[in-house]
Amino acid sequence: MAAKIGGKPGKAALLLVCTTVLLSTAACNTGETESRQVIEKSGQKITVLDNTSESVYTKLELEGIDKVENVRGMDFVSEDSLVVDKENRQLPAQTVEGQKRYPHNLYLHNLSTGEDTPLLVGEKNYGSALLSPDKKHLLYKELEDFTGFGYIMNLETGVSVQVDDTQFRSEEGKWMGNGLILFPDMEGNILSADLNGDQEIVVKPGAGYVHEVVQSGSQVYYVTGEEEELNAYNTETKQSKLLKKSVMWVIPSPDGSRLAIVKRTKPGEMVLVLCDTEGNEQSTLASAQQIFGTSWSPDGSKLAYALTAGNAAPGQDGLFITEVETGEQTPVLADIEVADQLRWSPSGKKLLASSGILKDNAYQFITYVIRLT
């Protein structure tokens, strides 16, 4: 779901709120309503971008965007609190390839005060954090490059249990309700683990590389093979079937009635399509060179995603929100390369985006919290 960090640096300039009808080329009237304020909270500079422009075609309005530098926002704990990954400069740095590197640890970031409270600190790198739906448990990984050991933390007690004694890919691992997680191991098996770390094999697809594993109701969706085959395993009938090919990601809607699927149509082109649970396409929402971070709003009415359009004209590159029923598309941030899946706050009124930019020969993470009305 995440973009690979690299390529052109993101400007992350705020686009004034204007709406384009699905796949249209209607021009946006930007006006002169943007204001910018830089404030400092707990030693961190936070840029607040306000915009009072009203969208012409849709009820979606942008209240403002908070930009927090040097942290990688992971997920919402509440409307005013995030789990973030940042360097722990209280610990000694290690020299890697001639550069000093500090361990990445996990913190709770208060959006109102800007304060960071340590959640998990130490000499190892911790990240890839994801909250359970009830916000009581945290799935995270002890990272080594692009893989890691999985753990589940009880946020009330601070106690963690290990998910698996072997590594799995950093981007994998999804919650199945509040008590189970689902993930593929490095041998191609799909496993579940409960809050005690006890595991069982859900299905053995028989492929060496299984990825993009997610469950919705009785269906476990996963992608395999060189042809990027999207499969669905029914946990009741114990049967698997092929739904589509050339699928990069599948994101089930909150109620399980539809699938948002990013598929590759040809080299250098992806499309975001809405499908039923069998993979039958209903509508096309976006087309670009790359589509990352796709995420449903909690009520299932909106999809947020980031587009990289290659040689894009102004307004065609960046982060967008689409009203699913009407196809109306609102640009939110221009020229941003997201590092992780976009995350919505519990109310659906805030959207979390993290981006990495190259600065002084090192990558710096920036977190954006987009406030909607």
Residue 27: per-residue pLDDT? 30
Of 146 and 18, which is predicted with more confidence? 146
Is 50 within 8 Å of 66 (Cβ atoms)? no
pLDDT class of 372 with cuts at 50, 70, 90: very high
Euclidean distance between CA atoms 180 and 140, whole angstroms: 14
| Nearest in space to 141 (alpha carbons), one of 103, 122, 168 | 168
Is 146 within 8 Å of 211 (Cβ atoms)? no
Q: Is 287 left (phi over 0), alpha (psi -120 to 50) or beta?
A: beta
Is 368 within 8 Å of 65 (Cβ atoms)? yes
What mean pLDDT do residues 135-145 have? 95
Euclidean distance between CA atoms 37 and 47, whole angstroms: 6
Residue 78: per-residue pLDDT? 97
pLDDT class of 59 with cuts at 50, 70, 90: low
Q: Which two tokens stand for residue 104?
A: 């990445």
Q: Is the pTM of this model over 0.75?
A: yes
Is 241 within 8 Å of 278 (Cβ atoms)? no
pLDDT of 204 above 50: yes
Computed over every residue of the chain, the mean pLDDT equals: 85
Q: Which two tokens stand for residue 319?
A: 């982060």
* pLDDT tens digits along 2-47: 443 333 333 333 332 333 222 232 233 333 334 445 545 444 444 4
* Residue 343 exposure: Cα atoms within 13 Å on the Cβ side: 28
| Residues above pLDDT 90, as percent of the chain | 72
Secondary structure percentages of the chain, helix, strand, coil, to 5:
0, 55, 45
Residue 335: per-residue pLDDT? 79
* Residue 287 exposure: Cα atoms within 13 Å on the Cβ side: 11
Residue 31: per-residue pLDDT? 33
pLDDT of 189 above 70: yes
Least confident of 52-66, 131-145, 148-162, 339-353: 52-66
What mean pLDDT do residues 102-108 have? 97
Euclidean distance between CA atoms 308 and 5, whole angstroms: 13
Tell how strand 329-334 and strand 13-14 pair up.
antiparallel
Euclidean distance between CA atoms 165 and 172, whole angstroms: 15
pLDDT of 1 above 60: no
Is 322 within 8 Å of 369 (Cβ atoms)? no
What mean pLDDT do residues 310-329 have? 82
Residue 314: per-residue pLDDT? 56
Provide the β-strand partners of residue 161.
152
Residue with tokens 């309503």: 33
| Residues above pLDDT 70, as percent of the chain | 83
pLDDT of 209 above 90: yes
Euclidean distance between CA atoms 300 and 256, whole angstroms: 10
* pLDDT tens digits along 60-80: 889 999 999 999 999 999 999
What mean pLDDT do residues 172-183 have? 96
Provide the β-strand partners of residue 107.
84, 118
- DSSP label at residue 317: S
Euclidean distance between CA atoms 53 and 26, whole angstroms: 17
- DSSP label at residue 338: B
| Nearest in space to 51 (alpha carbons), one of 267, 331, 335, 282 | 331
Q: Sign of the C-alpha dihedral, residues 120, 176, 272, 290?
A: positive
- DSSP label at residue 197: -
Amino acid at 344: W
Is 145 within 8 Å of 139 (Cβ atoms)? no
